[in-house]
Structure 1
Amino acid sequence: MTTLPDRPNTALLIIDVQNGVVESSHNRDDVIANINTLVDRARSEDVPVVWVQHSDEHLPRDSEAWQYVKELVRSPSEPLVHKLYGDSFEATDLESLLAERSVGRLVVTGAQTDACIRSTLHGAFTRGYDATLVGDAHTTEDLTEYGAPSPEKVIAHTNLYWDFQKAPGRRGGTVSTADVTFTPAESD
């Protein structure tokens, strides 16, 4: 559906699956395996795969913590977006990279659920994109000591509320890795 004209394509977005971000994240290995499954499928279907990498005082650029996990390997032809804020669109070239590829629909994976995933989903949605969250391909760390719910509840709640997101001309949605399609449904 997307409100972006002449943008029929879908892209797989992989957000911040970096050593320092996911080292103690909930269900880390399964989430990374699911992302790898989606990367393989996207590549086999000629769907753009876009990688996002965060840096800040806790993730200094070029540090070991800043590096993507070794289990995920970006092809040199796949764009890498460097960001400083939670929303992957904010002060980055993500929008222009997606426009060049005629992308109006995003399939979103990565970390952390309660920060960069949510920010990017909302950023995409307000910019006119359809944004599908892959419910078993995002994760977060345990922040209960700061008053947050457990990671399982943060993930479950995000999956639930994003499944019902819609606005004029665009929609959200949550699917499992097994149910991801990179071709929009006929009703789109």
Structure 2
Amino acid sequence: MTTLPGRPNTALIVIDVQNDVMAHAHQRDTVIANIAALVTRARSEGTPVIWVQHSDDDMVQGSDAWQYVPELTRHETEPLVHKTYGDSFEGTDLEDVLAAAAVGRLIVTGAETDACIRSTIHGAFTRGYDVTLVGDAHTTNDQSAWGAPPPEQVIAYTNLYWRSHRAPGRTAAVTDAESIAFPN
């Protein structure tokens, strides 16, 4: 139901599942296992897998901290989008990659829930994409020392409000990894 004409396809987006981001992430191993299972299923069903990788002063491109976690391996044929902002669309070629694959529906996974995940799902939705957040395949670190709720509450709240997010001609949804359908 996307508002993007001629975009019937779906893509799995894997955002910032990098060594530094995931080192102390809430339920790290479970989230990575869920993402890995989704990547395997998407590949077997012909759904594009798009990898997004963040860099900044603390996570320098090419450093060990910047690398994707060893449990996830990107195929050379799968697009890699480099970003420096929270929203994976800002200052990147993500829109071009998705347009070239006729993608109008995104299935979003990764980290961090309260930063890059939230920015990207909102950025995609306002750009006309249907957006499904995989409720058990995104995570965050504990930011409670700076006034944020504990990670499990951040994740639960994001799932709660995204489930009821609405706008004309677009759909927002939250689905667990096991229930994700790749229609391509």
TM range (shorter): over 0.9
Alignment of 1:175 onto 2:175: yes
Counterpart residue number, 1:8? 8
1:126-184 deviation line (CA, Å, top 9, x unaligned) = 00000000000000000110010000000000000001111100011100001101229
Counterpart residue number, 1:65? 65
TM, length-normalised to structure 2: 0.99
Counterpart residue identity of residue 121, structure 2:
L
Counterpart residue number, 1:151? 151
Counterpart residue number, 2:104? 104
- In percent, how many aligned pairs have the same letter? 65
1:55-106 deviation line (CA, Å, top 9, x unaligned) = 0011111011000000000000000000000000001000000000000000
Please report the RMSD computed on the Cα atoms of aligned residues, expressed in angstroms: 0.8
1:14-93 mapped onto 2 (5 Å cutoff): 14-93=14-93
Counterpart residue identity of residue 53, structure 2:
Q
CA–CA separation in structure 2 for the residues paired with 1:156 and 1:148: 13
* Runs of 4+ with deviation above 2 angstroms: none
Q: Which runs of 5+ in 2 are unaligned?
A: none
CA–CA separation in structure 2 for the residues paired with 1:6 and 1:15: 25
Q: Which runs of 5+ in 1 are unaligned?
A: none
1:160 aligned counterpart, secondary structure: helix
1:173 aligned counterpart, secondary structure: strand
CA–CA separation in structure 1 for the residues paired with 2:20 and 2:13: 19
Counterpart residue number, 2:138? 138
